[in-house]
Amino acid sequence: MPPGATIDWFPLWLSLRVAAISTALALAIGLWLAWILANRSFRGKEVLDAAVTLPLVLPPTVLGYYLLVLLGRASPIGHLYELVFGGPLVFTWQAAVVASLFHSAPLLVKSARAAFESVDRSYERAARNLGASEVRLFWRVTLPLVRRPVLAAGALAFARALGDFGVTLMIAGNIPGRTQTVAIAIYDAVEGGNGAAARVLVLIVSALALAILTLANRLTSNPFGPRQTAL
């Protein structure tokens, strides 16, 4: 880096905070949705599944536009938020949390649903026969059986939230020191000719993503080692 040049670390810390909060929310909401999709049959299930998956295939600008309409000051949700918190939701760091949540939660739901569907139902039937309630069954039987893939899904959701760009830019904006996340800061650095800052941030984000993916791979690997093939 040029002598005297400094890097603004705010975007990195903001991105880590936004990713952590959005991942916690995704786990709370996503596990519930995944369990319903894996264990319940009801009218409209396919539509709900498609709606959950939709953010994975929509262009980020389209998803961002929907969120602007849904959460803007003129919308009922946006107006209620402003009445409760004294300010609009859009173009705040909280809006970045919402953007990351919608960007990362579908991946967690799809992965968690696959994990729930792989559970041996005989354990759940045995627990029900012993009088366990559905809530107790979930926390004491089902969730422990799928904890490793669920934690891996949470790690992937965190990594996806950390790198969100398009949706965050649409509803949180690019306000240095307030809503500028690391992905947007890298774009700004490149556009502004500050290649040194861009390289440092890119290397840090890449290292974080590599560490998270390694963790996710460890969590989804067979804890008893590779399968042995018969000779």
pLDDT digits 0-9 by tens, 9-20: 999 999 999 999
DSSP 8-class letter at 227: P
Q: Using an 8 Å Cβ cutoff, are 105 and 21 in contact?
A: no
Residue that the structure tokens 């939709």 belong to: 54
**Residue 11, SS3 per DSSP:** helix
Give dist(CA 59, CA 76) in Å, integer. 25
Give dist(CA 149, CA 216) in Å, integer. 8
Asked if residue 217 has pLDDT above 90, the reply is: no
Give dist(CA 32, CA 112) in Å, integer. 10
**Residue 43, SS3 per DSSP:** coil
Looking at every residue in the chain, the average pLDDT score rounds to: 88
Considering Cα of 201, then 178, then 174, then 211, what sign does the dihedral take? Answer: positive
Asked if residue 3 has pLDDT above 60, the reply is: no
pLDDT for position 227:
52
pLDDT for position 223:
55
Asked if residue 228 has pLDDT above 60, the reply is: no
Asked if residue 230 has pLDDT above 80, the reply is: no
- Dump pLDDT digits (tens) for 47-104: 999 999 999 899 999 999 999 999 988 899 999 999 999 899 999 999 999 999 998 9
pLDDT for position 81:
92
pLDDT for position 2:
52
Quickly list DSSP for 164-219: --HHHHHHT---TTTT--HHHHHHHHHHTT-HHHHHHHHHHHHHHHHHHHHHHHHH
DSSP 8-class letter at 40: -
- Dump pLDDT digits (tens) for 142-198: 888 898 999 999 999 999 999 899 999 999 999 999 999 999 999 999 998 888 999
More confident residue, 25 or 228: 25
Percent of the chain with pLDDT over 70: 94
In this predicted structure, which of 2-6, 83-87, 227-231 has the lowest mean pLDDT? 227-231
**Residue 2, SS3 per DSSP:** coil
Give dist(CA 74, CA 89) in Å, integer. 11
Q: For the chain, which domains are there?
A: 10-220 (1.10.3720.10)
- The backbone region for 182, taken as left when phi is positive above 0, alpha when psi lies in -120 to 50, beta otherwise, is alpha
Give dist(CA 27, CA 146) in Å, integer. 13
Mean per-residue pLDDT, 1-26: 84
Task: Return the closest-CA partner of residue 212 out of 155, 136, 173, 169.
Answer: 155
Give dist(CA 67, CA 115) in Å, integer. 29
DSSP 8-class letter at 230: P
* Residue 231's pLDDT band (cuts 50, 70, 90): very low
| Residue 29 CB coordination number (10 Å) | 14
